[in-house]
């Protein structure tokens, strides 16, 4: 059991490293006035998780073990961008005909994450030494 966790954690470290490298490279190429690096990382992570899941899913062309799927999808791509997991889960809800759950997931994720970030920033400011 622990080997699974360690493998996913190692994949996460690789994904985080890839995200940092790509984001920094893009910022150096295009400037940092708009978060192009984050946008490109999020979109590319979504494309990659879609391709990977499509190719390795039950109807996919490549059979892989559950551990390989976890390392890539949760570890590498989760470290690279959690937006990929959110997108895959939302698409799965839509594919299952769960339109209200999909819409709720989209709305709640956007609103709660923005509110959480805003609230966290406010708390961080309050905790600053004066």
Task: List pLDDT tens digits, range 10-43.
Answer: 999 999 999 999 999 999 999 888 888 988 998 9
> What would the DSSP string read from start to end of 37-104?
HHHHHHHHHHHHHHHHHHHHSTTSSS---HHHHHIIIIIIHHHH-THHHHHHHHHHHHHTT-HHHHHH
Helix (H/G/I), strand (E/B), else coil: 7 = helix
pTM of the model: 0.77
Instruction: Enter the tokens of residue 84.
Output: 């990929």
How much of the chain, in percent, has pLDDT values that exceed 90?
Answer: 57
**Kind and range of the H or E element at 120?**
helix 99-126
Helix axes 2-30, 36-56, angle to 10 degrees: 140
Q: Identify the pLDDT of residue 85.
A: 80
Instruction: Enter the tokens of residue 86.
Output: 């959110």
What's the rounded Cα separation, in Å, for the pair 56 and 47? 14
Q: pLDDT: is 84 or 74 the higher one?
A: 74
Count CB neighbours of 52 within 10 A. Answer: 21
Contact 109, 87 (CB under 8 A): no
How much of the chain, in percent, has pLDDT values that exceed 70?
Answer: 100
Q: Identify the pLDDT of residue 39.
A: 87
Residue 7 pLDDT grade (very low, low, confident, very high; cuts 50, 70, 90): very high
Contact 74, 84 (CB under 8 A): no
Q: What is the mean pLDDT of residues 35-59?
A: 88
Q: pLDDT: is 95 or 57 the higher one?
A: 95
Domain boundaries, the chain: 2-81
Q: What is the mean pLDDT of residues 116-122?
A: 85
On the question of pLDDT at 66 being above 90, the answer is yes
């Amino acid at each position: 059991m622990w080997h699974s966790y360690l493998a996913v954690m190692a994949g996460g470290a690789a994904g985080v490293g890839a995200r940092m490298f790509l984001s920094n490279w893009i910022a150096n190429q295009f400037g940092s006035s708009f978060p192009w690096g984050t946008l490109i990382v999020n979109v590319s992570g979504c494309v990659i998780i879609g391709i990977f899941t499509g190719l390795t899913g039950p109807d996919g062309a490549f059979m892989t073990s559950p551990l390989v799927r976890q390392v890539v999808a949760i570890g590498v791509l989760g470290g690279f961008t959690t937006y990929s997991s959110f997108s895959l889960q939302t698409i799965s809800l839509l594919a299952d005909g769960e339109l209200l759950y999909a819409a709720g997931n989209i709305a709640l994720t956007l609103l709660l994450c923005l509110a959480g970030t805003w609230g966290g920033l406010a708390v961080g400011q309050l905790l600053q030494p004066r």
